[in-house]
Amino acid sequence: MFERSVTAEYASLTRTGQPVTVPTTPYVNASGLTIDLSTGLTYPAKAERARRDPRVCLLFADPVGSGMADPPVVLVQGLATVRDSDLQTNTDRYVKLSMEKLPDATKGQPRFVLRRLAWYYARIWIEVTPLHLRWWSSRNLEEPPRTWNAPEGTAAPLSDPAPSGTQPHPWLAPPTSWHAAAKEAGRLATHDLTTVDLNGFPLSLPVMHTEVADDGFRLTLGGAAPPVAAGPACLTMHSHAERFTGQENRTIIGTVEPPARPGGDVDFRAQRALADWSLAGGRASIALSFLSQGRRLAPRLATEAQRRFQPVPTVRLPDRP
């Protein structure tokens, strides 16, 4: 499941304890000890949240593109280690692994064009050491989960030192209203809710049914889902094709109230939608959108490398077979 999933929901915590969940591509570390994901050097917010507070989670509940007919749903809660002390090695690793796992994303692209995409391929890696696993036989969460806990005393390595200077500002403006994102709820296939559990870890769960309400959403979870505590929450909706060339994401943050009775619906009170970077449509429209975003992000590349006292990494493509 970890090796073959195209997307997993990655949740980290802001300074105020607000969970933020983003679909991302997971990779099993060669050591077999961590599940890894990456974020662009030019948009490092996911990594900086994890560096401040290493409590994170990964939800594997989207089988699209995995080739698995009936996979389980797996929730991984663990500790994150941020790696950005060797940007060239990070970039080389991402180029290799992403092209192996998502070949359709770059299929047909001239190599000279790909070499110019350092603003995208330059990466920060986040290694997640699992502490607690729960898995259900299906997305409906109809039966109690099986569980696994790491041996007592398990710890994650420390993150690389934080870069100097100030973290860059968000590069995309958020929607003016969460209602615009709510209109996409019926079109985007996968909905997931993230709350914070009693141990302070993000807790992501698949949503069976989403109903839009005046102040947010009414969410139906599976009957064997763990209890949801009142407090800050994040609702993420996304979709991508079987052959991955792009995806659409919508993220709304707010608060939740636990159901009045066990197994009842969860009320999610929306506060605001976050900016999203979606690549949707045909190859031509995706390519144009990608290049447009690159013009906005490319100027950050040298600044972010300098903050880490390193040269700008080079995109070194693997030899073709």
Chain centroid to CA 240: how far? 14
Q: What is the mean pLDDT of the chain?
A: 91
Domain at 8-158+170-307: CATH code: 2.30.110.10
Which has the minimum average pLDDT: 103-107, 185-189, 282-286? 282-286
**Res. 167: pLDDT tops 60:** yes
Which has the minimum average pLDDT: 38-42, 65-69, 127-131, 225-229? 65-69
pLDDT at 284: 58
**Res. 285: pLDDT tops 90:** no
Classified as helix, coil or strand, 94 is helix
pLDDT at 194: 98
**Mean of the pLDDT values across residues 4-30?**
96
**Mean of the pLDDT values across residues 50-64?**
95
Asked whether 74 and 62 are in contact (CB, 8 A), the reply is no
pLDDT at 286: 61
Q: Which amino acid is at 61?
A: A
pLDDT at 131: 98
pLDDT at 279: 66
pLDDT at 282: 62
**Res. 321: pLDDT tops 60:** no
Q: Which amino acid is at 167?
A: Q
Q: How far is CA 147 from CA 40, 61, 75, 135, 205, in A?
A: 33, 16, 10, 7, 15
pLDDT at 121: 95
**Mean of the pLDDT values across residues 124-148?**
95
pLDDT at 260: 72
**Mean of the pLDDT values across residues 252-258?**
93
Classified as helix, coil or strand, 118 is helix
pLDDT at 152: 94
Most confident of 200-204, 227-231, 280-284: 200-204
End-to-end CA distance of the chain: 27
The band of 289, judged by pLDDT with boundaries at 50, 70 and 90, is low
